[in-house]
């Protein structure tokens, strides 16, 4: 079950150091090779034992905390991983286009035509899913379900029947991603959200599309994070990036 995690961590060079870490209300940011972000896990407790030790730590050592069952530590570990992978250069290489040409709309909008009349599951209750429900047979699975959602244990029954599955990358934090990918083998799988590592490693495990985020203005993103911002991230210093596994493997 740890293969995905171990492979993500092992690719990080041992010489890289953490320059800074910021734990915000909505996002956590780690600065090393570049600035990487992950969603601050909503059930992550009230503090971290790592406080006061992170700056100057080897990046790989911090990234190893993604395997922690303390979800706040795991959030920091995932942000550390993204500070290695989610560089503008990596995104442009894998997508085959400059960041300036990446369409700045969410993955649900990008896939709208492919999803029409299909069985579609979304793991994580993202905002603005109502237009999706109007064009496909939509199932939303959520750890804290809202009216109309399915509780996340329903994934065992629902995912094997889907054509398209959108999985929030915060499942790397709570360790459910490996099982979700097993259940999703027959579907097109899109790993989605700013917590998504932009690396072809994930294509080997059944992910078809990466829909993540690249920080292009670290200082502005830092301000958004420390001021408790949420979606302002996408208007201030970060860009959405979508990478298709088939296209990336041909480069």
Say yes or no to pLDDT of 135 above 80: yes
Cα distances (angstroms) measured from residue 187 to each of 69, 118, 146, 203: 29, 11, 25, 13
Sign of CA dihedral 159, 149, 210, 107: positive
Give the residue, 91 or 251, on which the prediction is more confident.
Answer: 91
pTM: 0.94
| Residue 144 sits in the same domain as residue 231 | yes
Say yes or no to pLDDT of 126 above 90: no
Say yes or no to pLDDT of 250 above 70: no
Tell me what the mean pLDDT of segment 178-196 comes to: 97
Integer Cα distance of 23 and 236 in angstroms = 18
Q: Which of these three, 64, 86, 108, is where a domain ends?
A: 86
pLDDT in tens, 58-73: 999 999 999 999 999 9
| Residue 153 sits in the same domain as residue 208 | yes
| Residue 198 sits in the same domain as residue 213 | yes
Say yes or no to pLDDT of 247 above 80: no
Q: What is the 3-state secondary structure (H, E, C) of the chain?
A: CCHHHHHHHHCCCCCCECCEEEECCCEEEEECCCEEEEECCCCCCCCCCCCCCCCCCEHHHHHHHHHCCCHHHHHHHHHHHHHHHCCHHHHHHHHCCCHHHCCCCCHHHHCHHHHCCCEEEEECCCCCCHHHHCCCEEEEEECCCCCCCEEHHHHHHHHHHCCEEEEECCHHHHCCHHHHHHHCCCCEEEEECCCCCCCHHHHHHCCCEEEEEEECCHHHHHHHHHCCCCHHHHCCCEEEEEEEHHHHHCC
Question: What CATH number does the domain containing 213 carry?
Answer: 3.40.50.11590
| pLDDT, position 185 | 96
| pLDDT, position 214 | 96
| Residue 80 sits in the same domain as residue 29 | yes
What are the φ and ψ backbone dihedral angles of 192, each rounded to 5 degrees? -130, 150
| pLDDT, position 75 | 96
| Residue 48 sits in the same domain as residue 131 | no
Integer Cα distance of 119 and 117 in angstroms = 7
**What is the gyration radius of the CA atoms in the chain, in angstroms?**
17
Q: Which of these three, 86, 118, 148, is where a domain ends?
A: 86
| Residue 75 sits in the same domain as residue 145 | no
Q: Which of these three, 17, 51, 86, is where a domain ends?
A: 86
Integer Cα distance of 241 and 92 in angstroms = 9
Of 69-78, 92-101, 174-183, the range with the lowest mean pLDDT is 92-101
| Residue 60 sits in the same domain as residue 94 | no
| Residue 110 sits in the same domain as residue 154 | yes
Say yes or no to pLDDT of 249 above 70: no
| Residue 153 sits in the same domain as residue 210 | yes
| pLDDT, position 251 | 58
Say yes or no to pLDDT of 48 above 90: no
| Residue 31 sits in the same domain as residue 126 | no
Sign of CA dihedral 99, 105, 107, 113: negative
| pLDDT, position 81 | 98
Give the residue, 241 or 130, on which the prediction is more confident.
Answer: 241
What are the φ and ψ backbone dihedral angles of 101, each rounded to 5 degrees? -100, 0
Tell me what the mean pLDDT of segment 137-141 comes to: 95
| Residue 213 sits in the same domain as residue 239 | yes
The boundaries of the domain holding residue 79 are: 3-86
pLDDT in tens, 86-125: 999 999 999 998 988 888 888 888 898 999 999 999 998 8
Question: What CATH number does the domain containing 45 carry?
Answer: 3.30.390.100
Give first-to-last CA distance, the chain, whole Å.
29
Integer Cα distance of 81 and 11 in angstroms = 10
| pLDDT, position 93 | 93
Give the residue, 45 or 238, on which the prediction is more confident.
Answer: 238
Number of domains in the chain: 2
| Residue 53 sits in the same domain as residue 108 | no
């Amino acid at each position: 079950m740890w293969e995905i995690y171990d492979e993500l961590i092992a690719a990080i060079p041992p010489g890289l150091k953490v320059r800074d870490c910021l734990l915000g209300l909505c996002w956590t940011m780690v600065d090393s090779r570049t600035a990487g972000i992950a969603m601050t896990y909503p059930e992550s407790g009230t503090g971290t034992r790592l406080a006061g030790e992170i700056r100057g730590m080897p990046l790989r050592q911090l990234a190893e905390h993604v395997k922690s069952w303390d979800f706040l530590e795991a959030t920091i570990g995932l942000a550390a991983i993204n500070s290695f992978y989610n560089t503008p250069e990596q995104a442009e290489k894998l997508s085959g286009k400059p960041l300036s040409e990446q369409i700045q709309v969410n993955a649900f909008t990008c896939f709208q035509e492919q999803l029409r009349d299909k069985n579609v599951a979304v793991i994580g209750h993202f905002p603005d899913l109502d237009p999706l429900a109007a064009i496909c047979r939509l199932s939303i699975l959520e750890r804290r379900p809202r009216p109309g959602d399915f509780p996340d244990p329903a994934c065992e029954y629902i995912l094997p029947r889907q054509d398209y599955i959108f999985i929030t990358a915060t499942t790397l934090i709570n360790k459910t991603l490996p099982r979700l990918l097993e259940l999703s083998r027959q579907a097109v799988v899109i790993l989605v959200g700013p917590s998504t590592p932009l690396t072809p490693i994930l294509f080997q495990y059944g992910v078809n599309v990466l829909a993540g985020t690249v920080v292009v203005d670290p200082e502005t993103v830092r301000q958004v994070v420390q001021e408790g911002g949420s979606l302002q991230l996408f208007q201030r210093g970060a860009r959405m990036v979508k990478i298709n596994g088939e296209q990336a493997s041909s480069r």
